[in-house]
């Protein structure tokens, strides 16, 4: 367990992708089976210990610690597992530390009711770093900035095999992947991929910045604001993958079930109804579904999802990736015609005379689900990653409003302990401030430090973790759209608000009014 804990901490403190890969590769080479296989599964997100849920960890903490002190600590640290690991009294000198496979065996062989006690016994045998790794392992959420793809890349590097070969056999195997390591070490033949559907890396776009392109060379499509996914089907099985190559089939089973064709396609997952404007909450629902391994029928009914297709990589077994976009587009249209129109449609090509015309069309588009415009070279093959000059994304200009900071709360994750989540308001006709939104991004690290200090030095009241501040700081807030909302007292809500500038020069009285915001509703 100590070696695994050291690996996890190494990954947390290392920023370079190459160094992360090297750390994982070194661990996989040195560590014996089956520990390394469980670790690989934990990093790739395929380890699922059914007996331990994060609620069990909270319960374990609340049983041992004063709930108020625990909440204050959790609020400061920004991560439940880490808080528990740090608060847990040190009882071990590290000698009795369990191995990764002992942990897995113990937790898998217990019941959900007994799991907290088993976990507590294991905690007593570890130091603070070991306890952290244990809790992360048990709940399955490592959050060390590793995608499934990166874990497989590290495996490939550790044993000198190609990552595509790893992808192809991956889904035919189960943790702790002993056959995979046997093959990697050259002790056995490559495992049989067993007709498995696997991930191919996405093609990505560069931002257009201030440039322009000729539309006889480039085709324009809308950039839809959903979740980019890849669907791969062998006929025998269908799998959905997110941008990082993580499998998300379990989150959207209705899409996998409806996909009745063989091939690999690239598209955007959207919620029906949202496309024609509507509540921003539906996108949040989509994201929540993404985080789940299983979804209920009720969620499926409440948020009907479909996929808007951008591209085709494989038609049947035929690899189309080296063909130009125009040829792939023809094939995609034929391919999509055979799919259920309730679940799949084509991302339309924008008919624009020239670039200026396109700019007008883009400026006029205020539909909530449109994030901007994609520009794709007509002769471009489908290549992994971001390649210069082939695909561009041209996001639409945001709306902005000057708002006044009202409340602040500490962030979590990267921003833990900083006051980084801000509630801001605009003025009513009779001179009151009402909250219109909440934002926690858009500022630089330097600005965050300044904002944090501002909050600390200008607190007028505290409500648990929330601080009310002096209503003196104007924040320029950028957002994609504004719409009516019954949930906010102000009657309006912003879509994707973020802080675009700190207006320390501007007096609070001169911030925008709610009626000015209202005028921006489409």
What number of chain residues touch other proteins (CB under 8 A)?
51
CB 370 within 8 A of CB 362: no
DSSP letters, 343-378, are TEEEPPBP--SSHHHHHHHHHH---TTEEEEEEEET
Nearer Cβ to other proteins, position 246 or 468? 468
Of the residues 298, 301, 461, 519, which one makes contact with other proteins according to CB under 8 A: 461
DSSP letters, 218-269, are EEEEEEESSEEEEEEE-SS-EEEE-TTS-B-GGG-HHHHHH--S-EEEEEEE
Q: Does 82 bind other proteins (CB under 8 A)?
A: yes
Q: Which stretch binds other proteins (CB under 8 A): 154-162, 325-333, 365-373, 460-468?
A: 460-468
Q: Which stretch binds other proteins (CB under 8 A): 172-180, 242-250, 346-354, 409-417?
A: 409-417
Q: What whole-number distance in Å separates Cα of residue 448 and Cα of residue 420?
A: 7
Q: Which stretch binds other proteins (CB under 8 A): 65-73, 96-104, 147-155, 224-232?
A: 65-73
Q: Does 416 bind other proteins (CB under 8 A)?
A: yes
Q: Does 415 bind other proteins (CB under 8 A)?
A: yes
Of the residues 22, 29, 58, 71, which one makes contact with other proteins according to CB under 8 A: 71
Helix spans in 160-233 (H):
163-170, 178-184
Nearer Cβ to other proteins, position 429 or 522? 429
How buried is residue 214: exposed, middle or buried, by Cβ count under 10 Å (0-12/13-18/19+)?
exposed
Q: Least CB distance from residue 502 to other proteins, whole Å?
A: 19
Q: Which stretch binds other proteins (CB under 8 A): 262-270, 346-354, 362-370, 404-412?
A: 404-412
Of the residues 72, 299, 365, 383, which one makes contact with other proteins according to CB under 8 A: 72
CA distances from 224 to 312, 365, 433 (A): 17, 12, 34
Q: Least CB distance from residue 465 to other proteins, whole Å?
A: 6
Q: What whole-number distance in Å separates Cα of residue 424 and Cα of residue 111?
A: 46
Of the residues 162, 284, 326, 417, which one makes contact with other proteins according to CB under 8 A: 417
Q: What whole-number distance in Å separates Cα of residue 39 and Cα of residue 21?
A: 14
Q: Which residues contact 432 (CB under 8 A, 6 or more apart)?
A: none
Of the residues 294, 413, 430, 487, which one makes contact with other proteins according to CB under 8 A: 413
- Strands 391-395, 206-207: parallel, antiparallel or unpaired by DSSP? parallel
End-to-end CA distance of the chain: 56
Nearer Cβ to other proteins, position 135 or 203? 135
Q: Does 13 bind other proteins (CB under 8 A)?
A: yes
Q: Least CB distance from residue 467 to other proteins, whole Å?
A: 8
Q: What part of residues 165-184 is at the interface with other proteins (CB under 8 A)?
A: none
Name the residues that contact other proteins, by CB under 8 A: 9, 12-15, 65-66, 68-69, 71-73, 76-79, 82-83, 86-87, 90, 128, 132, 406-407, 409, 413-418, 423, 432, 434-435, 445, 452, 456-457, 459-468, 489
């Amino acid at each position: 367990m100590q070696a695994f804990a050291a690996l996890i901490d190494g990954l947390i403190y290392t920023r370079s992708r190459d160094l992360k890969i090297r750390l994982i590769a070194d661990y996989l080479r040195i560590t014996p089976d089956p520990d390394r296989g469980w670790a690989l599964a934990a990093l790739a997100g395929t380890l699922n210990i059914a007996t331990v849920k994060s609620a069990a960890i909270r319960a374990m903490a609340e049983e041992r610690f004063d709930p108020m002190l625990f909440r204050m600590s959790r609020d400061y640290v920004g991560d439940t597992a880490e808080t528990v690991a740090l608060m847990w009294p040190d009882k071990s000198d590290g000698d009795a530390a369990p191995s990764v496979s002992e942990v897995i065996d113990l937790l898998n062989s217990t019941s959900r009711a007994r799991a907290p006690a088993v976990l507590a016994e294991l905690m007593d045998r570890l130091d603070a770093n070991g306890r952290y790794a244990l809790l992360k392992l048990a709940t399955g959420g490592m959050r060390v900035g590793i995608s499934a793809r990166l874990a497989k890349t590290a495996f490939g590097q550790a044993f000198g095999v190609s990552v595509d070969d790893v992808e192809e056999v991956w889904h035919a195997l189960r943790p702790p992947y002993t056959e995979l390591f046997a093959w990697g070490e050259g002790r056995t033949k490559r495992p049989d991929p067993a007709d498995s559907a696997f991930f191919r890396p996405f093609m990505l776009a560069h931002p257009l910045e201030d440039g322009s392109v000729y539309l006889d060379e480039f085709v324009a499509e809308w950039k839809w604001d959903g979740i980019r996914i890849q669907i791969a089907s062998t006929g025998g099985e269908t799998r959905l993958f997110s941008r990082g190559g993580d499998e998300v089939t379990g989150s959207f089973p209705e899409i996998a079930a409806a996909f009745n064709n063989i091939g690999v396609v690239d598209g955007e997952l959207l919620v029906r109804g949202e496309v024609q404007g509507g509540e921003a909450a539906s996108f949040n629902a989509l994201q929540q579904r993404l985080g789940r391994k299983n979804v209920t029928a009720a969620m499926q009914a409440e948020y009907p999802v479909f996929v808007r297709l951008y591209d085709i990589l494989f038609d049947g077994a035929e690899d189309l990736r080296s063909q130009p976009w125009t040829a792939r587009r023809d094939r995609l249209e034929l391919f999509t015609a055979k799919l259920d129109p309730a679940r799949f449609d084509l991302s339309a090509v924008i008919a624009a005379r020239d670039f200026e015309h396109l700019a007008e069309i883009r400026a006029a588009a205020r539909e909530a689900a449109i994030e901007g415009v994609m520009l794709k070279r007509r002769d471009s093959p489908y290549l992994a990653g971001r390649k210069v000059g082939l695909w561009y994304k041209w996001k639409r200009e945001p709306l902005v409003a000057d708002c006044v900071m009202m409340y602040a709360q500490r962030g979590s994750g990267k921003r833990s302990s900083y006051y980084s989540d801000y509630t801001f308001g605009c003025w009513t006709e009779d001179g009151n401030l009402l909250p219109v939104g909440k934002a926690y991004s858009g500022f630089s690290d330097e600005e965050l430090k300044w904002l944090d200090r501002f909050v600390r030095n200008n607190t007028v009241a505290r409500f648990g973790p929330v601080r009310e501040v002096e209503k003196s700081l104007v924040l320029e807030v950028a957002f994609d759209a504004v719409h009516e909302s019954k949930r906010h007292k102000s009657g309006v809500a912003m879509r994707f608000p973020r802080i675009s500038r700190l207006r320390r020069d501007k007096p609070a009285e001169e911030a925008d009014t709610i009626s000015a915001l209202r005028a921006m509703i489409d």
